[in-house]
Chains A and B, each alone.
Chain A
Amino acid sequence: MSLGTLQFVVNKPRGPLGWWILAPIVGIAGAVLWWSAVGTQLSLSGLVAGLPWIADFLDRMLPPNFAFMQKLVKPAIETVQIALWGTLLGILLALPVCFFAARNLSPYAWVFHGLRQVLNVMRGINEIILALIFVAAVGLGPFAGVLAIAIHGAGMLGKFFAEAIEEIDEGPLDALRAAGAGTLQRIVFGVLPQVLPAWIGVVLYRFETNIRVSTVLGMVGAGGIGFELISSMKLFAYEDTAACVLVILILVLAADLISSKLRAMIR
């Protein structure tokens, strides 16, 4: 097919149906989306009708209570501390596991598959749910938050670490094997130098995410600024809520900025 001087360069889909294969795909996708819209009660008129209430909410939040921010310094610092130790413990948990969870290094297929499932479970449970469990176990406070972030983060980091290992060039490993190097030497000299930049990137990204997560952990009593946020809302002190939101924004943006700068440095 040609349109004047332009030519349409797309391969016809394989199979006997040709372009007609698109009809059922588009049809099914449309049906699923419609069904989900009904299920979630999507409604533009509902949103429009609610706009005055949102305006009212914003009106009550403004101006933010800047004086309240002084009281937020300590919880904000605690938030960062939770993210820091949550990330570190997550790394420590993920490190010994990741080598066995990489297809190319795992000694047996069942070890690889088993560990991947363990990591999936750790990753599959949301931090808030984990925090509820740990609050029950170790009591209210930031330590429960650290543990929640560490477990979920280990599942995430373990998977990404293992995937980075699967992408390495196996040539140098062959060379180390051919030179008679042992397993530890192959990992330290063949694997680590190749995966380290990717790993650091993943860890920084994880830290950034953990800052965001630890700002809401306080809602379930697991420490950090989230506690102030939820209590100010319960007391209808919306000017204080606005101050919390501002501090959270500052934290998240700072983490974002620092981690992207650091990631740019390792390239």
Chain B
Amino acid sequence: MIEIRRLAKSYGSHQALKDVSLTIRPGEFVVVLGPSGAGKSTLLRCINRLTPPTGGEIVVDGAPFSSSGRDLRLLRRNVAMIFQQHNLVKRLSVLKNVLVGRMADLSPVLSSLQLFPEADVKIAMHCLEQVAMVHKARSRADALSGGEQQRVGIARALAQQPRFMLADEPVASLDPKTSRVVLTYLKKSCKDSNIAVLCNLHQIDYALEFGERIVGLSGGEVVYDGAPGGVSGDVIRRIYPGLDDPNVLDAAQRLTERRRAAAEAETAATVREERV
């Protein structure tokens, strides 16, 4: 469980995050929605300390943060990250990129000599299997398409065998079809290994489709935290102040209603079954 209490981050006089409190439960898929500059990336980067917060605290699995180098590496091993620009090392092979996910546990000297324990290579290959990229294990990372690179990014994060995964706009630079493929792999592989995901998204439709819980972030504050079914046009307007696009609002409303109807139908079906 990740418990975020009264988290704050300011850059000079600019407050990127003010007083954010959130709890991420094991295994759940949480989507963070919010306009550019709302603090979504900052929130994620504060959790694994790529950015040091200026206030509040973050407790990961009961352990409050300590600044020792060992604890920091332990924290980062348990909390993997996926980036918008994949951040693969382009001139290295796909397999070696995935092995980066194992490095927190490997001998720095041996791994620098390109020597890896067989067991870790096996884990890396298994993670590539989970995103259907085994056949490209020996290719150079820059020979892959954008969607494939992001799947390798997911495999690298999975290779850490983490308890949590932070995904910072993982599909922002991908086309709609590839986005769906990537998000499906992300959700399925994390469900399989019971990894909780905190995923920033720009697309409201994907958020409502893939998210089990939606967190709306606006101006550095949480303005919504609840089920996707509760995301009404009003909520959208609260997350994106000034957004007055009837198409977006309509679409969100329709998606939400359809989801709610589906959920009700399912409940009704269960109730009926129970009666029989």
Binding site for B on A (CB under 8 A): 171-172, 174-185, 188-190, 193-194, 196
With beta carbons under 8 angstroms apart, the residue of B77, B89, B108 that contacts A190 is B89
Residues of A within 8 A of B160 (CB): 179-180
Flag if A194 contacts B83 (CB, 8 Å): no
- Taking Cβ atoms with an 8 Å cutoff, the residues of B that contact A are 48, 50, 72-74, 76-77, 80-81, 83, 85-92, 96, 100-101, 103-104, 106, 108-109, 111-112, 153, 156-157, 160
Q: Are A193 and B83 in contact (CB under 8 A)?
A: no
A176, B106: Cα distance in complex, Å = 13
User: Given A174-B50, A179-B101, A189-B100, A184–B112 Cβ distance below 8 Å?
Assistant: yes
Residues of A within 8 A of B80 (CB): 178-179
With a cutoff of 8 Å between Cβ atoms, the chain A residues found around residue B108 in the complex are 182-185
A171 touches B87 (CB 8 A): yes
Chain A residues whose C-beta falls within 8 Å of the C-beta of B96 in the assembled complex:
189
Q: Is there an interface contact between A174 and B104, defined as CB atoms closer than 8 Å? A: no
In the bound assembly, the distance between CA atoms of A183 and B103 in angstroms comes to: 11
Contacts of A176 in B (CB 8 A): 100, 103
Chain B nearest CB from A168 CB (Å) reads 10
Q: B88 to chain A: which residues have CB within 8 Å?
A: 172, 175
**Contact, CB under 8 Å: B111 / A185:** yes
Residue numbers in A under 8 Å from B50 (CB-CB): 174, 177-178
Q: B80, B86, B96, B103 — which one has the most chain A CB atoms within 10 A of its CB?
A: B103
Chain A binding site: helix, strand, loop or mixed by DSSP? helix
Q: Decide: B87 and A175 in contact? CB cutoff 8 A.
A: yes
List 20 A–B pairs whose Cβ atoms lie within 8 Å, in order of A's numbering.
A174-B50, A174-B87, A175-B87, A175-B88, A175-B89, A175-B100, A175-B153, A176-B100, A177-B76, A178-B50, A180-B104, A180-B160, A181-B104, A185-B112, A188-B111, A189-B92, A189-B103, A189-B112, A190-B89, A193-B91
**Complexed CA–CA distance, A198 and B12 (Å):** 37
14 more A-B residue pairs beyond the given contacts A171-B83, A189-B89, with a C-beta to C-beta distance below 8 A: A171-B87, A175-B156, A177-B76, A178-B48, A178-B80, A180-B72, A180-B74, A180-B76, A184-B112, A185-B103, A188-B111, A189-B111, A189-B112, A194-B91
Contacts of A179 in B (CB 8 A): 76-77, 80-81, 100-101, 103-104, 156-157, 160
Contact indicator A174/B103 (Cβ below 8 Å):
no
Q: Which residues of B sit under 8 angstroms from A194, Cβ to Cβ? A: 89-91
CB distance from A187 to the nearest CB of B (A): 8
Q: How many A-B residue pairs have CB under 8 A?
A: 81
Complexed CA–CA distance, A184 and B100 (Å)? 12
CA distance A58 to B270 in the complex (A): 105
| CB closest residue in chain B, given A183 | B108
Nearest 6 A/B pairs, CB to CB:
A180-B104, A171-B87, A180-B76, A175-B87, A178-B81, A181-B103
Residues of A within 8 A of B103 (CB): 176, 179-182, 185, 189
Q: In the complex where A184-B112, A190-B89 touch, is A175 in contact with B77 (Cβ < 8 A)?
A: no
Q: Do residues A180 and B92 form an inter-chain contact, with CB atoms below 8 A?
A: no
Instruction: Give Cα A122–Cα B167 distance, bound, in whole angstroms.
Output: 47
B85 near A171 with CB under 8 A, answer: yes
Q: Is the CB of B112 within 8 A of A188?
A: yes
Complex interface: chain B residues within 8 A of A190 (CB): 89
Cα A171 to Cα B80 with chains together (Å): 15
Query: Is B76 a contact partner of A174 (Cβ separation < 8 A)?
Result: no
B186 to chain A, nearest CB (A): 16
Output the nearest chain B residue to A181 by Cβ-Cβ distance: B103
Chain A residues whose C-beta falls within 8 Å of the C-beta of B76 in the assembled complex: 177-180
Q: Which residues of the other chain, A, contact B89 by a CB distance below 8 angstroms?
A: 172, 175, 189-190, 193-194
Chain B residues within an 8 Å CB radius of A184: 108-109, 112
Complex Cα–Cα for A166 and B221 (A): 35
Complex-state Cα separation, A189 to B141, whole angstroms: 13
The residue among B96, B100, B104 with the most chain A CB atoms within 10 A of its own CB is: B100
Complex-state Cα separation, A183 to B104, whole angstroms: 11
Please name the residue on chain A nearest to B91 by beta carbon: A193
Q: Which residues of A contact B83 (CB under 8 A)?
A: 171, 174-175
Contacts of B112 in A (CB 8 A): 184-185, 188-189
Q: How far is the CB of B123 from chain A (nearest CB, A)?
A: 13
Question: Cβ of B91: which chain A residues have Cβ within 8 Å of it?
Answer: 193-194, 196
In whole Å, how far is B109's beta carbon from the nearest beta carbon of chain A?
Answer: 7
| Contact partners of A178 in chain B: CB under 8 A | 48, 50, 76, 80-81
Cα distance A172–B73 in the bound complex, in angstroms: 17
A266 CB, nearest partner CB in chain B, Å: 11
Chain B residues near A177: list those with CB within 8 A. 50, 76
List A contacts of B101 (CB < 8 A): 179
- Interchain CB contact under 8 A, B92 and A175: no
Residues of B within 8 A of A174 (CB): 50, 83, 87
Is A180's CB under 8 angstroms from B77's CB? Answer: yes
Interface centre among B72, B74, B83 (most CB of A within 10 A): B83
User: Complex: how many Å from CA A189 to CA B157?
Assistant: 16
In whole angstroms, what is the CA distance A144 to B83 when docked?
52
Q: CA of A150 to CA of B227 in the docked complex: distance in angstroms? A: 67
